[in-house]
Each structure stands twice: as C-alpha cells, then as structure tokens.
Amino acid sequence: MGEIDTRLCCSNCRVSMEPLIAQSLRFDLQSGHTKCITEDIKTNSMSVGKYSIVNPSDGHPMPDSHKLTVRVTSTYGNSYHYAEHVESGQFAFQTAEAGDYMACFWADDHKPQTTITVEFDWKSGVATKDWTNVAKKGSVDAMELELKKLYETITSIHDEMFYLRERQVEGRRNAGT
C-alpha cells in the first residue's frame, strides 16, 4: 500500500511540475481556419501569454493577409482576451475558476490561401514571476534567490496536489452517478 501511495505522489509531482515550465510553441495556421490551445489552470493562478506572427519576408513589411483574431476564454466561456486583425499581442489575467482555458487563433479566408506561422508563449503559476526583478528589488544573493524560487515551486506543487486530489474525488463522484 505504501508503495502505491509513493508512486501516486511521484506521479502527481511530475504532472504538477509540468505547468511550471514555460511553454512556447510555433504553429502554422491556414487562412480561413482556426487553431485552439487548451491549458488546465487552477483557481487564482496568474496566466500570461504573448503571440506574434512570424514575418514570411524578413526585412519587408508584414503582408496584409497576415492578421489574426485571438480569443482567450475560460471553461465557462468567460472571455479574458480578445483582439481582432492583429500581428501580435499579449494577455495577462488571474483565473477566477479552475479548468481548461482556451486560446483560439483564426485567420480570415484569403484567395489564394495563405499560411501564417504563429509563435505563442503561455505561462501560468510560478513560471509567470519575473525572478530578475525580485533579485534586483531585494538585492538578494544568488543562493537566496534560488531558495525563493524553490520555495515557490514547492508551494505550487503542494497546492497542485490538493487540486488534483479534489478533481479525482469529483471525477469519482460523477462516475458513480
């Protein structure tokens, strides 16, 4: 029994640490199409994102066909960010409810069809903190800064374990009905 509990705990730690890593990606979007990225975020977490279109002709102005419309919503459909016909943008918000938050990107239909390359960086939780400013403001040495980062990470993992446990209980309750 103790061995199972240990494996479950280690599994939760591994899953919990993944959201702490900054997640950046690059994807292609065909004109007239939509792509959505979903992130499971807990209540009262800070979430920060930025996106930009990669210019296909470096050194030249961005073509008029290379514009995005972007919307970020919560599980319950609450809108946290909306931007129309932009080349780049950013968003930041504190979550009001736990669940899947979705960032959707779409491009207007063009003839002939164009492909837009988008760079997207989305962080939540401890990864959103700007540790360089913490070091400057507090004039702390490197070891103290690393300890502060570690403490924040451990606290986040601890909170995430309780959050996952609550979701597991809720899932079992829903499966039993």
Q: Which amino acid makes up residue 125?
A: G
- Token pair of 37 as six digits: 């990225």
Whether 82 shows a pLDDT value over 90: the answer reads yes
Tens digit of each residue's pLDDT (9 = 90 or more) over 10-65? 333 333 444 444 567 999 999 999 999 999 988 888 889 999 999 988 888 888 88
Which segment, 38-47, 96-105, 128-137, is predicted with the most confidence on average?
Answer: 96-105
Which is more confident, 88 or 43?
Answer: 88
* pTM confidence score: 0.63
Find out whether 107 and 31 touch, Cβ atoms under 8 Å: yes
CATH topology for 22-125 is Jelly Rolls (2.60.120)
H runs (alpha helix) in the chain: 2-17, 131-138, 142-176
3-state secondary structure of 121: strand
Write down the domain spans for the chain.
22-125, 129-177
- Token pair of 98 as six digits: 């736990």
- Token pair of 111 as six digits: 């003839």
Range in 33-47, 119-133, 142-156 with the lowest mean pLDDT? 119-133
